[in-house]
Amino acid sequence: MNHHYTVLDILLVLARYALALAVTIHVLRTKRDTAASTGWIGIAWLMPLTGAALYVMFGVNRVRRLARKLIGSHQWDGRGALVQHREQVDGQFAPLARMLGRLTERPLLGGNVIQCLHDGDNTYPVMLAAIDNARQSVLLCSYIFRADEVGNRFIEALANAQARGVRVHVLVDGIGSGYFHSGVASALRRRNIACHRFMHSLWPWRMPFINLRNHRKILVVDGRVGFMGGLNIGEENMLRLRTKVPVADTHFRIEGPIVHQLTEAFARDWSFTCQEELDGEIYFPQLDSVGDIPMRIVTSGPDNDLEKIEFAMLQGVALARRSVRLMTPYFLPDERLTSELCLAALRGVEIDIIVPGSSNHRLIDYARDANLAPFLDAGCRIWMAQPPFNHAKLLVVDEDWSFVGSSNIDVRSLRLNFEINMEVYDKDLARELIAFIDRHRHGRLTHHTLDSQSGMVKLRNAGVRLFMPYL
């Protein structure tokens, strides 16, 4: 049988091999995860054209490259003024404090106060009052910012602040606050308020960014008062409104030198999004001590901050001697965090994990249920909180160290999302959070609960679990 190959045929074959080889070289040079590396290389050689296209879209971390370029050339004011507030921790958590200092390149800062706020009913009035009292600047970042009754109150407060001469900057996520249309972004721009959508694009060649989301919640007023935590802006967070799916949450009001680090986190995101620097006294004023609590901001994302929040959790759990209390809306930890929690339980640490009996994402509940048996085997106690769905993200170790913020315990939050957490060395806050967490220890999950599930339910849950990184 005769085969006649044209020059075009030969060129196509060479192109296929060249693409597969190019993907292989790039994977070997840039990827650390061996399973992901093997998968990408296999797809590239089995389907060179399709595999190369998929890798260019979803496998290349352009975010880290852009972050290095931007952050390397930008400086933010006020760093030197905070030297006097640096703190050191002695005793059990000294290794954690040293590790996070090196990892984040942010000092542990003393002289702070913190107030714990629950739900939009109690938190929104405090946030709105802070905006109403702004005199120089307002920085607001929210994953979800709805243009509903609650969102409109914030829009009006921001517009009024700008009318007083306050500089207002708003950053919303390109997915969470509306992908095809963002009502809040349109409303703010109609009022000439600077508002940008984080990594948003409808162009096909930028579609990979659809999987990278800014999940941070930040409000800084005049560079002196800050808010952070898990609370988005929307009617569902107002429990008194009795919406269809009400969402309880926890947020924190902070004052003191730590606000500088919160401002810097926003400034980096703002620069990353629109290449505009926020510098000067109106954003980074001289901050004096107002209390005695040591704190530090820890950010993570698929850029230079990759996995830093997870590393903080791993080290905190590793140092636990008596107890770990963890409350999260979505519990899909990777193998590292699973192993650390289970090892802590096996050495006698009391591990209490509080998750919603039913969250607002059913698929995540399915995957979670398929992932719980190892924790029960190790002796962890898992509790199913009753409605309303609680969106709080809280970790307390040994009634001494608290770790709070926007990050869920799942692969998306710990690897893909841009998140912000805060470590706090304060026994009073730890006790307050422990009391709150313990009030949500309702139905305890047992082996019997999992064993009583039907074979089809177990199969469904195990199947959904395969998609953990994308849930």
Mean pLDDT by 10 residues, the chain (471 residues): 67 83 85 77 85 75 53 48 78 96 95 97 98 98 96 97 98 84 91 89 53 89 98 96 92 97 95 90 94 96 82 97 97 94 98 94 92 96 96 96 96 87 98 97 92 91 80 68
The pLDDT of residue 80 is 47
For 24-36, write each residue's pLDDT tens digit.
888 888 777 777 7
- Among candidates 388, 362, 373, which has minimal Cα distance to 245? 388
- C-alpha–C-alpha distance, residues 318 and 243, integer Å: 40
Q: Which pTM was predicted?
A: 0.88
CB 255 within 8 A of CB 224: yes
In the prediction, which pLDDT does 386 show?
94
* Residues 234-256: tens digit of each pLDDT: 999 999 998 888 999 999 999 99
Extents of the domains making up the chain: 7-60, 67-90+107-295, 308-470
pLDDT, residue 208, reads: 47
d(CA 114, CA 86): 17
CA 81, CA 458: separation in Å to the nearest integer? 56
Specify whether the CB–CB gap between 215 and 406 falls below 8 A: yes
Which two three-digit tokens encode residue 108? 């542990």
CA dihedral 174, 177, 181, 184 (to 10 degrees): -120
Topology (CATH) of 308-470: Endonuclease; Chain A (3.30.870)
**pLDDT of the residue at 198:** 87
* β-sheet bridge partners, residue 381: 352
Half-sphere exposure of 305 (CA within 13 A, CB side): 25
pLDDT at 68: 53
Task: Give the phi and the psi of residue 237 in degrees, each rounded to 5.
Answer: -85, -5
Residue partners of 92: CB distance under 8 A and separation at least 6: 319, 321, 398, 400
67-90+107-295 sits in which CATH class?
Answer: alpha beta
Alpha carbons 86 and 73: distance in angstroms, whole number: 25
**Among 430, 216, 223, 420, CA closest to 320:** 430
Q: For 42-59, write each residue's pLDDT tens digit.
A: 888 888 888 888 777 666
Q: Answer whether 284's CB lies under 8 Å from 82's CB.
A: no
Same fold, 67-90+107-295 and 308-470: yes
Non-local (6+) Cβ contacts of 227 within 8 A are 123, 126, 127, 130, 217, 218, 219, 220, 251, 252, 253, 254
Q: Which of 263, 255, 330 minimizes the C-alpha distance to 299?
A: 263
In whole angstroms, what is the distance from residue 93 CA to residue 124 CA? 34
Strands 323-327, 394-397: pairing kind:
antiparallel
